Amino acid sequence: MNSKLIKVNIDCIHDVLYYKKLNNGMEIFMLPNSNVSNVYATFTTKYGSAIDEFVPIGENKMIKVPSGVAHFLEHKVFEQEKRIPPFEFYSKSGTNCNAHTSLKNTTYEFIGPNNFQENLEYLLDFVQDPYLTDENVEKEKGIIEQEIKMYMDSPYWTMYDGIRNNSFEINPTKYPIGGTVESIYKINKGVLEKCYNTFYHPANMFLVITGNFDPEEAITIIEVNQQKKQYGKMRDLKVREYKEKDEVVKKDEIVIRNVDMPKLSFGIKINIKKIPIDNEYKLHMYISLLFNILFGVSSKFFEKMNNRKYLAMPLGIDKVVATNHLLVTLVCETNYPNKLVNEIKCELDNIKIDEEELNIYKKCMISDCIRSFDNIIDINDIIVSDVINYGKYINNTVDIIKKLNISEFNTVIKNIDFNNVSVYTVVPNNFQEKAG
């Protein structure tokens, strides 16, 4: 094994993750698994839709770009001048490729059992060499406009965008990831080049590989590939920090869509900096435990709501981190949205969790953590999420979970304002809630 590879011990599976930071600043995380046939590789830039004001590389003044640039750029990275298109390249070897943009990052990926070296080299090459022209940028606007309109027709996308917009005042987390039809027509080649050159520098990117591969072979492929490319030294990125207020912007909104059953999104906006827990990862663990205990598939709440016919499926639990705030959202379909909202508020007003119940859910969380290593996509996603949110892979998750205790748990509960809520409901035309 290459002596320069750092071996990071993983506490719950008695295995190691291989890590290296290249001379150009790119970080590599590799977790081999000989029990599977596929290899899953993700190449991520720490640039997502929530970054819209920054100082471009080579400049001194902060600029504001239109909403949706990160997603637009994701589309254009797939444009190649001399290479065959990525989808065509990967399909020849039975490999799937894709990409997605989130609030904090943009990730390009492939998964397949064959042609590992060629697939890895091509991933690095096409992401690091997009083809931008005034003509192909203009052409892409119509394609993205249709995509945005498709999302706008989706009640679930309407809910996810709506609850963020109503919860945040100025943080760009409030805006749709893909932007709006109006905002994308303000994007041009110059804007895309500034964003690409600033945020797609190797020092702002990282590669995660999981599955059946040899880490020594992989790091050799990557290093040879990167040595052929020239990048200047990256300076510290200057991105605007938003002083977001603690209160939600709008407490309640009802929109009418062509749906069969009402869809409910219940958001709690939490200032995590006001909770005296010394470790942000541990704090997120406590908050995840709290909402799983209260509203998860095994919760007494779900059993009660299911018996009353208020819920047929458990509440979905979604979390969005936005600098100092965490938005926890409960999502579901229900014919009784108003009654369910009252039941959720009642549950939050009367939280009673003892140490025994906490320990039961801790064991479940540990089991889920261990099982994630059997799935090369799940563990890759976890590594990407850790690096984006905490700046590194958290390799001692089980140890952290074991040390969670009822005293700190109650401190977390005590410091959350459960009345700081925004409710977003999508209902059919002429909807009237049933008696129940």
- For 90, 96, 234, the CA distances from 39, given in Å and listed in that order, are 13, 11, 30
Catalytic residues: 74
DSSP element (H, E) containing 325: strand 325-333
* Contact of 19 with 28, CB cutoff 8 Å: yes
pLDDT (tens digit, 0 to 9) for every residue of the chain, 436 residues total?
445 899 999 987 878 999 999 999 999 999 999 999 999 999 999 999 999 999 999 899 999 999 999 999 999 999 999 899 999 999 999 999 999 999 999 999 999 999 999 999 999 999 999 999 999 999 999 999 999 999 988 999 999 999 999 999 999 999 999 999 999 999 999 999 999 999 999 999 999 999 999 999 999 999 999 999 999 888 889 999 999 999 999 999 999 998 999 999 999 999 999 999 989 999 999 999 999 999 999 999 999 999 999 998 999 999 999 989 999 999 999 999 999 999 999 999 999 999 999 999 999 999 999 999 999 999 999 999 999 999 999 999 999 999 999 999 999 999 999 999 999 999 998 888 877 6
Architecture of domain 6-227 in this structure: 2-Layer Sandwich (3.30)
Model confidence, pTM:
0.95
Instruction: Round to the nearest angstrom and report the end-to-end CA distance of the chain.
Output: 65
| Tokens read off for 261 | 């059953």
Instruction: Quick: pLDDT tens for 154-210.
Output: 999 999 999 999 999 999 999 999 999 999 999 999 999 999 999 999 999 999 999
In angstroms, the CA 155 to CA 257 distance is 7
> What pLDDT does residue 436 have?
62
Which CATH code of 3.30.830.10, 2.70.98.60, 3.40.50.2020, 3.20.20.80 fits the domain covering 252-427?
3.30.830.10
CA proximity to 124, closest of 195, 232, 42, 48:
42
In angstroms, the CA 47 to CA 52 distance is 10
Q: Where in the chain is the domain with CATH 3.30.830.10?
A: 6-227, 252-427
> What pLDDT does residue 234 have?
84
Helix (H, G, I), strand (E, B) or coil at 376: helix
